[in-house]
A and B are shown apart, each in its own frame.
Chain A
Amino acid sequence: MQQILSAQAKEGMVLAKDVMTPESRVLCGKGTVLSTTLLDRLEKMDIVHVTVEGHPVELPGEKTLKQELQAVEERFSDVTQIAPLMYIKQRIMKKLVESRG
Protein backbone atom coordinates (compact mmCIF):
# COMPACT_ATOMS: atom_id res chain seq x y z
CA MET A 1 0.00 0.00 0.00
CA GLN A 2 1.42 3.38 -0.93
CA GLN A 3 0.10 6.88 -0.73
CA ILE A 4 0.95 8.97 -3.76
CA LEU A 5 -0.02 12.30 -5.30
CA SER A 6 -2.76 11.95 -7.91
CA ALA A 7 -0.29 13.35 -10.41
CA GLN A 8 1.86 10.25 -9.85
CA ALA A 9 -1.06 7.85 -10.39
CA LYS A 10 -1.02 5.83 -13.60
CA GLU A 11 -3.54 3.78 -15.54
CA GLY A 12 -3.77 0.20 -14.19
CA MET A 13 -2.92 0.99 -10.55
CA VAL A 14 -5.40 -0.40 -8.02
CA LEU A 15 -6.92 1.75 -5.25
CA ALA A 16 -6.15 0.41 -1.76
CA LYS A 17 -8.49 2.89 -0.08
CA ASP A 18 -11.68 4.67 -1.07
CA VAL A 19 -11.19 8.07 -2.69
CA MET A 20 -13.41 10.62 -0.94
CA THR A 21 -14.72 13.95 -2.14
CA PRO A 22 -14.19 16.97 0.15
CA GLU A 23 -17.81 16.40 1.27
CA SER A 24 -16.84 12.92 2.51
CA ARG A 25 -18.68 11.04 -0.24
CA VAL A 26 -17.03 8.03 -1.84
CA LEU A 27 -15.88 9.01 -5.33
CA CYS A 28 -14.47 5.61 -6.23
CA GLY A 29 -14.09 2.59 -4.02
CA LYS A 30 -11.23 0.48 -2.82
CA GLY A 31 -10.23 -2.14 -5.43
CA THR A 32 -11.03 0.11 -8.41
CA VAL A 33 -8.52 -0.16 -11.27
CA LEU A 34 -7.55 3.34 -12.39
CA SER A 35 -8.38 4.19 -16.00
CA THR A 36 -7.56 7.35 -17.96
CA THR A 37 -11.18 8.50 -17.56
CA LEU A 38 -10.95 8.06 -13.79
CA LEU A 39 -7.60 9.84 -13.62
CA ASP A 40 -9.11 12.79 -15.50
CA ARG A 41 -11.98 12.85 -13.07
CA LEU A 42 -9.65 12.84 -10.07
CA GLU A 43 -7.82 15.78 -11.56
CA LYS A 44 -11.07 17.69 -12.20
CA MET A 45 -12.24 17.01 -8.66
CA ASP A 46 -8.95 18.37 -7.25
CA ILE A 47 -8.13 15.11 -5.48
CA VAL A 48 -4.57 15.63 -4.28
CA HIS A 49 -3.59 12.13 -3.16
CA VAL A 50 -4.66 8.51 -3.51
CA THR A 51 -3.63 5.26 -1.82
CA VAL A 52 -2.77 2.40 -4.18
CA GLU A 53 -1.95 -1.30 -3.80
CA GLY A 54 1.66 -2.46 -3.74
CA HIS A 55 4.50 0.01 -4.00
CA PRO A 56 4.35 1.19 -7.61
CA VAL A 57 6.11 4.57 -7.33
CA GLU A 58 9.83 4.69 -6.58
CA LEU A 59 10.34 7.89 -4.66
CA PRO A 60 13.80 9.41 -4.68
CA GLY A 61 15.67 8.71 -1.46
CA GLU A 62 13.12 6.17 -0.28
CA LYS A 63 14.35 3.38 1.99
CA THR A 64 14.22 -0.34 1.22
CA LEU A 65 12.42 -2.65 3.67
CA LYS A 66 15.76 -3.80 5.07
CA GLN A 67 16.82 -0.20 5.69
CA GLU A 68 13.45 0.57 7.29
CA LEU A 69 13.80 -2.37 9.69
CA GLN A 70 17.33 -1.34 10.56
CA ALA A 71 16.09 2.15 11.29
CA VAL A 72 13.49 0.73 13.72
CA GLU A 73 16.22 -1.26 15.53
CA GLU A 74 18.32 1.87 15.73
CA ARG A 75 15.47 4.03 17.09
CA PHE A 76 14.77 1.54 19.87
CA SER A 77 18.42 0.86 20.71
CA ASP A 78 18.43 2.85 23.97
CA VAL A 79 15.36 1.16 25.45
CA THR A 80 16.03 -2.56 24.99
CA GLN A 81 15.50 -3.10 28.74
CA ILE A 82 11.94 -1.78 28.70
CA ALA A 83 9.59 -4.69 27.97
CA PRO A 84 6.50 -2.75 26.75
CA LEU A 85 8.64 -0.80 24.29
CA MET A 86 10.17 -4.01 22.95
CA TYR A 87 6.68 -5.35 22.36
CA ILE A 88 5.80 -2.15 20.47
CA LYS A 89 8.97 -2.50 18.41
CA GLN A 90 8.05 -6.04 17.36
CA ARG A 91 4.57 -4.93 16.29
CA ILE A 92 5.93 -2.03 14.27
CA MET A 93 8.41 -4.30 12.48
CA LYS A 94 5.73 -6.90 11.74
CA LYS A 95 3.47 -4.23 10.23
CA LEU A 96 6.31 -2.85 8.10
CA VAL A 97 6.99 -6.28 6.63
CA GLU A 98 3.27 -6.80 5.93
CA SER A 99 2.82 -3.41 4.26
CA ARG A 100 5.64 -4.05 1.79
CA GLY A 101 4.48 -7.58 1.03
Chain B
Amino acid sequence: MEDSKRQQFRAALRETKNLPTLPGIVVKLSRMADDPDSTTEQMGKVLSKDHILAAKLLKLVNSAFYGFPQRISSLSSAIILLGFNVVKSLIVSASIFEMMEDQDVELWEHSLGCAVACSVVARRIGVDEPEEVSTAGLIHDIGKVAIKMELPQEYEMITRLMRERKMSMRQAELEVLGLGHDEAGGWLTKSWNLPTKLIEPIACHHDPRLAKDEMLSSSIIHFSDILIRGMGYGHAGDDKVPALSKRAWQLLNLSPEDINFIIDEVEEKLWEVKGFSLEIQAETENSATNG
Protein backbone atom coordinates (compact mmCIF):
# COMPACT_ATOMS: atom_id res chain seq x y z
CA MET B 1 0.00 0.00 0.00
CA GLU B 2 1.49 3.33 -1.09
CA ASP B 3 1.98 5.72 1.77
CA SER B 4 0.30 8.59 -0.10
CA LYS B 5 -2.94 6.66 -0.37
CA ARG B 6 -2.83 5.84 3.30
CA GLN B 7 -2.25 9.51 4.08
CA GLN B 8 -5.22 10.44 1.96
CA PHE B 9 -7.56 8.11 3.87
CA ARG B 10 -6.11 9.34 7.08
CA ALA B 11 -6.92 12.92 6.11
CA ALA B 12 -10.43 11.95 5.00
CA LEU B 13 -11.11 10.29 8.34
CA ARG B 14 -9.64 13.20 10.24
CA GLU B 15 -11.81 15.77 8.55
CA THR B 16 -14.94 13.90 9.40
CA LYS B 17 -18.03 15.55 8.02
CA ASN B 18 -20.73 13.07 8.88
CA LEU B 19 -19.60 12.12 12.35
CA PRO B 20 -20.73 14.20 15.27
CA THR B 21 -18.04 16.58 16.38
CA LEU B 22 -17.40 16.80 20.06
CA PRO B 23 -20.22 18.91 21.46
CA GLY B 24 -19.30 22.36 22.74
CA ILE B 25 -20.46 21.25 26.14
CA VAL B 26 -17.44 18.92 26.46
CA VAL B 27 -15.05 21.78 25.84
CA LYS B 28 -16.78 23.77 28.53
CA LEU B 29 -16.72 20.84 30.95
CA SER B 30 -13.06 20.11 30.25
CA ARG B 31 -12.24 23.68 31.19
CA MET B 32 -14.24 23.28 34.39
CA ALA B 33 -12.52 19.98 35.20
CA ASP B 34 -9.14 21.70 35.01
CA ASP B 35 -10.27 24.50 37.28
CA PRO B 36 -9.80 23.53 40.94
CA ASP B 37 -12.54 26.00 41.97
CA SER B 38 -15.35 24.33 40.06
CA THR B 39 -17.37 21.65 41.78
CA THR B 40 -18.97 18.50 40.40
CA GLU B 41 -22.37 20.05 41.20
CA GLN B 42 -21.58 22.96 38.90
CA MET B 43 -20.49 20.54 36.19
CA GLY B 44 -23.67 18.54 36.71
CA LYS B 45 -25.68 21.74 36.24
CA VAL B 46 -23.97 22.54 32.96
CA LEU B 47 -24.70 19.02 31.73
CA SER B 48 -28.34 19.15 32.82
CA LYS B 49 -28.96 22.15 30.56
CA ASP B 50 -28.90 19.84 27.57
CA HIS B 51 -31.97 17.78 28.46
CA ILE B 52 -31.65 15.19 25.75
CA LEU B 53 -27.97 14.63 26.44
CA ALA B 54 -28.60 14.49 30.18
CA ALA B 55 -31.33 11.87 29.75
CA LYS B 56 -29.12 9.76 27.50
CA LEU B 57 -26.20 9.99 29.87
CA LEU B 58 -28.24 8.87 32.84
CA LYS B 59 -29.63 6.02 30.82
CA LEU B 60 -26.15 4.84 29.83
CA VAL B 61 -24.87 5.24 33.37
CA ASN B 62 -27.75 3.23 34.77
CA SER B 63 -27.51 0.47 32.19
CA ALA B 64 -26.07 -2.88 33.12
CA PHE B 65 -22.47 -2.36 32.10
CA TYR B 66 -21.64 -0.15 35.04
CA GLY B 67 -23.55 -2.32 37.46
CA PHE B 68 -24.11 0.14 40.31
CA PRO B 69 -26.54 -1.33 42.82
CA GLN B 70 -28.35 2.00 43.28
CA ARG B 71 -29.94 3.93 40.47
CA ILE B 72 -27.93 7.07 39.73
CA SER B 73 -30.34 9.93 39.32
CA SER B 74 -28.14 13.00 39.21
CA LEU B 75 -25.38 13.92 36.83
CA SER B 76 -23.16 15.25 39.57
CA SER B 77 -23.18 11.87 41.31
CA ALA B 78 -22.46 10.27 37.93
CA ILE B 79 -19.36 12.46 37.66
CA ILE B 80 -18.27 11.52 41.18
CA LEU B 81 -18.89 7.80 40.71
CA LEU B 82 -17.56 7.41 37.20
CA GLY B 83 -14.95 10.12 37.03
CA PHE B 84 -14.84 12.96 34.59
CA ASN B 85 -12.97 10.99 31.89
CA VAL B 86 -15.76 8.46 31.70
CA VAL B 87 -18.49 11.09 31.63
CA LYS B 88 -16.64 12.91 28.85
CA SER B 89 -16.39 9.72 26.80
CA LEU B 90 -20.03 8.98 27.48
CA ILE B 91 -21.01 12.33 26.02
CA VAL B 92 -19.15 11.33 22.88
CA SER B 93 -20.62 7.82 22.89
CA ALA B 94 -24.15 9.15 23.43
CA SER B 95 -23.95 11.20 20.24
CA ILE B 96 -22.28 8.43 18.29
CA PHE B 97 -24.71 5.81 19.47
CA GLU B 98 -27.65 7.82 18.34
CA MET B 99 -26.28 7.36 14.88
CA MET B 100 -25.38 3.71 15.40
CA GLU B 101 -28.87 2.87 16.62
CA ASP B 102 -30.27 4.01 13.28
CA GLN B 103 -27.42 2.75 11.16
CA ASP B 104 -26.15 -0.42 12.62
CA VAL B 105 -28.06 -1.95 15.54
CA GLU B 106 -25.95 -5.08 15.52
CA LEU B 107 -22.65 -3.23 15.86
CA TRP B 108 -24.22 -1.24 18.68
CA GLU B 109 -25.19 -4.49 20.39
CA HIS B 110 -21.68 -5.86 19.91
CA SER B 111 -20.29 -2.67 21.48
CA LEU B 112 -22.65 -2.85 24.45
CA GLY B 113 -21.82 -6.53 24.92
CA CYS B 114 -18.10 -5.81 24.78
CA ALA B 115 -18.51 -3.06 27.40
CA VAL B 116 -20.32 -5.52 29.69
CA ALA B 117 -17.58 -8.14 29.25
CA CYS B 118 -14.88 -5.50 29.89
CA SER B 119 -16.58 -4.45 33.09
CA VAL B 120 -16.81 -8.06 34.35
CA VAL B 121 -13.21 -8.96 33.41
CA ALA B 122 -11.78 -5.70 34.80
CA ARG B 123 -13.55 -6.23 38.13
CA ARG B 124 -12.54 -9.89 38.31
CA ILE B 125 -8.84 -9.10 37.92
CA GLY B 126 -9.17 -6.03 40.11
CA VAL B 127 -8.07 -3.07 37.98
CA ASP B 128 -8.26 0.38 39.57
CA GLU B 129 -10.81 2.00 37.29
CA PRO B 130 -13.04 -0.64 35.72
CA GLU B 131 -15.47 2.03 34.44
CA GLU B 132 -12.80 3.45 32.17
CA VAL B 133 -12.11 0.04 30.71
CA SER B 134 -15.78 -0.61 29.99
CA THR B 135 -16.13 2.82 28.42
CA ALA B 136 -13.22 2.03 26.10
CA GLY B 137 -14.99 -1.26 25.35
CA LEU B 138 -18.13 0.65 24.50
CA ILE B 139 -16.39 2.69 21.80
CA HIS B 140 -13.67 0.23 20.71
CA ASP B 141 -15.15 -0.15 17.21
CA ILE B 142 -15.75 3.54 16.60
CA GLY B 143 -13.29 3.30 13.69
CA LYS B 144 -15.76 1.02 11.89
CA VAL B 145 -18.47 3.66 12.18
CA ALA B 146 -16.07 6.31 10.87
CA ILE B 147 -15.03 4.23 7.86
CA LYS B 148 -18.63 3.42 7.00
CA MET B 149 -19.74 7.05 7.28
CA GLU B 150 -16.76 8.85 5.75
CA LEU B 151 -15.56 6.41 3.12
CA PRO B 152 -18.74 4.77 1.77
CA GLN B 153 -17.16 3.60 -1.50
CA GLU B 154 -14.23 1.98 0.23
CA TYR B 155 -16.61 0.49 2.79
CA GLU B 156 -18.49 -1.11 -0.07
CA MET B 157 -15.22 -2.63 -1.35
CA ILE B 158 -14.40 -3.88 2.15
CA THR B 159 -17.70 -5.69 2.54
CA ARG B 160 -17.33 -7.15 -0.96
CA LEU B 161 -13.88 -8.53 -0.11
CA MET B 162 -15.28 -10.03 3.08
CA ARG B 163 -18.04 -11.74 1.13
CA GLU B 164 -16.08 -12.89 -1.86
CA ARG B 165 -12.75 -13.81 -0.29
CA LYS B 166 -14.01 -14.72 3.19
CA MET B 167 -11.73 -12.16 4.80
CA SER B 168 -12.19 -10.74 8.26
CA MET B 169 -13.28 -7.11 8.31
CA ARG B 170 -9.87 -5.98 9.52
CA GLN B 171 -8.01 -7.93 6.80
CA ALA B 172 -10.27 -6.35 4.19
CA GLU B 173 -9.74 -2.88 5.68
CA LEU B 174 -5.98 -3.35 5.53
CA GLU B 175 -6.23 -4.51 1.92
CA VAL B 176 -8.44 -1.60 0.79
CA LEU B 177 -7.28 1.26 3.01
CA GLY B 178 -3.90 0.16 4.29
CA LEU B 179 -5.17 0.75 7.81
CA GLY B 180 -7.61 -0.92 10.17
CA HIS B 181 -10.57 0.39 12.17
CA ASP B 182 -8.44 0.03 15.32
CA GLU B 183 -5.91 2.57 14.06
CA ALA B 184 -8.68 4.83 12.70
CA GLY B 185 -10.48 4.69 16.06
CA GLY B 186 -7.25 5.68 17.77
CA TRP B 187 -6.86 8.86 15.69
CA LEU B 188 -10.47 9.78 16.02
CA THR B 189 -10.54 9.56 19.81
CA LYS B 190 -7.23 11.40 19.91
CA SER B 191 -8.67 14.21 17.81
CA TRP B 192 -11.54 14.40 20.33
CA ASN B 193 -8.95 14.82 23.10
CA LEU B 194 -10.06 11.76 24.99
CA PRO B 195 -7.50 10.52 27.53
CA THR B 196 -4.73 8.05 26.58
CA LYS B 197 -6.37 5.54 28.89
CA LEU B 198 -9.19 5.32 26.37
CA ILE B 199 -7.28 5.98 23.14
CA GLU B 200 -4.69 3.24 23.50
CA PRO B 201 -7.03 0.35 24.24
CA ILE B 202 -9.14 1.35 21.22
CA ALA B 203 -6.12 1.65 18.94
CA CYS B 204 -4.56 -1.60 20.22
CA HIS B 205 -7.56 -3.88 20.69
CA HIS B 206 -6.41 -6.21 17.92
CA ASP B 207 -2.79 -6.28 19.07
CA PRO B 208 -2.29 -5.30 22.70
CA ARG B 209 1.50 -5.58 22.28
CA LEU B 210 1.39 -2.22 20.50
CA ALA B 211 0.21 -0.46 23.65
CA LYS B 212 2.81 1.63 25.44
CA ASP B 213 1.08 2.60 28.68
CA GLU B 214 -2.20 0.72 28.68
CA MET B 215 -1.32 -2.85 27.83
CA LEU B 216 -3.56 -4.34 30.50
CA SER B 217 -6.66 -2.35 29.45
CA SER B 218 -5.90 -3.14 25.82
CA SER B 219 -5.69 -6.82 26.71
CA ILE B 220 -9.00 -6.72 28.57
CA ILE B 221 -10.72 -5.19 25.52
CA HIS B 222 -8.96 -7.63 23.19
CA PHE B 223 -10.20 -10.57 25.26
CA SER B 224 -13.72 -9.14 25.80
CA ASP B 225 -14.15 -8.55 22.06
CA ILE B 226 -13.25 -12.21 21.46
CA LEU B 227 -15.51 -13.45 24.25
CA ILE B 228 -18.56 -11.51 23.14
CA ARG B 229 -18.10 -12.66 19.54
CA GLY B 230 -17.83 -16.22 20.83
CA MET B 231 -21.08 -15.76 22.75
CA GLY B 232 -22.68 -14.55 19.54
CA TYR B 233 -24.08 -11.35 21.01
CA GLY B 234 -24.57 -8.61 18.43
CA HIS B 235 -22.62 -8.55 15.22
CA ALA B 236 -19.32 -6.81 14.56
CA GLY B 237 -19.26 -7.10 10.78
CA ASP B 238 -17.73 -10.56 10.64
CA ASP B 239 -18.68 -13.63 12.65
CA LYS B 240 -15.46 -15.52 13.23
CA VAL B 241 -13.71 -15.42 16.57
CA PRO B 242 -10.24 -13.97 15.93
CA ALA B 243 -7.00 -15.37 17.38
CA LEU B 244 -6.17 -14.62 20.99
CA SER B 245 -2.96 -12.67 21.57
CA LYS B 246 -0.53 -14.75 23.66
CA ARG B 247 0.78 -11.67 25.40
CA ALA B 248 -2.73 -10.57 26.37
CA TRP B 249 -3.57 -14.03 27.66
CA GLN B 250 -0.41 -14.13 29.83
CA LEU B 251 -1.11 -10.68 31.18
CA LEU B 252 -4.73 -11.46 32.10
CA ASN B 253 -3.65 -14.73 33.72
CA LEU B 254 -7.20 -16.13 33.98
CA SER B 255 -7.83 -19.53 35.57
CA PRO B 256 -10.61 -21.88 34.39
CA GLU B 257 -12.60 -20.74 37.47
CA ASP B 258 -12.16 -17.12 36.38
CA ILE B 259 -13.41 -17.99 32.90
CA ASN B 260 -16.46 -19.83 34.28
CA PHE B 261 -17.25 -16.90 36.55
CA ILE B 262 -16.78 -14.36 33.76
CA ILE B 263 -19.02 -16.21 31.27
CA ASP B 264 -21.80 -16.67 33.88
CA GLU B 265 -21.62 -13.06 34.96
CA VAL B 266 -21.51 -11.66 31.42
CA GLU B 267 -24.49 -13.77 30.44
CA GLU B 268 -26.42 -12.60 33.50
CA LYS B 269 -25.70 -8.95 32.71
CA LEU B 270 -26.48 -9.38 29.03
CA TRP B 271 -30.07 -10.19 30.00
CA GLU B 272 -30.30 -6.70 31.42
CA VAL B 273 -28.54 -5.11 28.48
CA LYS B 274 -30.80 -6.97 26.10
CA GLY B 275 -33.67 -5.32 27.94
CA PHE B 276 -31.93 -2.00 27.45
CA SER B 277 -31.75 -2.49 23.68
CA LEU B 278 -35.34 -3.80 23.56
CA GLU B 279 -36.35 -0.58 25.29
CA ILE B 280 -34.49 1.53 22.79
CA GLN B 281 -36.08 -0.34 19.92
CA ALA B 282 -39.52 0.12 21.46
CA GLU B 283 -38.81 3.83 21.88
CA THR B 284 -37.60 4.18 18.31
CA GLU B 285 -40.73 2.41 17.05
CA ASN B 286 -42.92 4.59 19.25
CA SER B 287 -41.36 7.81 18.04
CA ALA B 288 -41.61 6.54 14.46
CA THR B 289 -45.32 5.87 14.83
CA ASN B 290 -45.98 9.05 16.79
CA GLY B 291 -43.81 11.29 14.68
Contact = CB atoms under 8 A, between A and B. Distances in A.
A92 B229 CA distance: 11
Interface in B54-83: 69-71
B226 interface: yes
Contact of A3 (B231, B260, B278): B278
Interface string B274-290: 11001100100000000
A68 B230 CA distance: 12
A61 interface: no
A1 B274 CA distance: 13
Contact of B275 (A1, A48, A84): A48
A91 B259 contact: yes
Interface residues of B, number: 29
B282 A5 contact: yes
B71 A89 contact: no
The 10 closest A-B pairs by CB, nearest first: A49-B275, A48-B279, A24-B71, A49-B278, A78-B240, A91-B263, A75-B241, A76-B241, A82-B244, A79-B241
Interface of B: 69-71, 226-227, 229-232, 239-244, 249, 254, 256, 259-260, 263-264, 267, 271, 274-275, 278-279, 282
B278 A79 contact: no
Q: Which of A17, A71, A78, A85 has the most C-beta atoms of chain B within 10 angstroms of its own C-beta? A: A85
Interface residues of A, number: 28
B240 to A, nearest CB: 5
Given A3-B278, A78-B242, A17 B256 contact: no
Contacts of B271: 1, 3, 17, 51
Interface in A47-88: 48-49, 51, 68, 71-72, 74-79, 82, 84-85, 87-88
Contacts, number: 71
9 contacts: A3-B278, A48-B282, A75-B229, A79-B241, A79-B242, A84-B244, A88-B259, A88-B263, A92-B231
A22 B71 contact: yes
Interface of A: 1, 3, 5, 17, 22-24, 48-49, 51, 68, 71-72, 74-79, 82, 84-85, 87-89, 91-92, 95
A89 to B, nearest CB: 7
Nearest to B243: A79
A71 B243 contact: no
A98 B227 CA distance: 19
Nearest to A77: B240
A73 to B, nearest CB: 11
Contacts of B226: 85
Given A76-B241, A78-B243, A87 B259 contact: yes
Given A85-B230, A85-B244, A74 B239 contact: yes
Contacts of A22: 71
Contacts of A85: 226, 230, 241, 244
Contacts of A3: 271, 274-275, 278
Contact of B263 (A1, A51, A92): A92
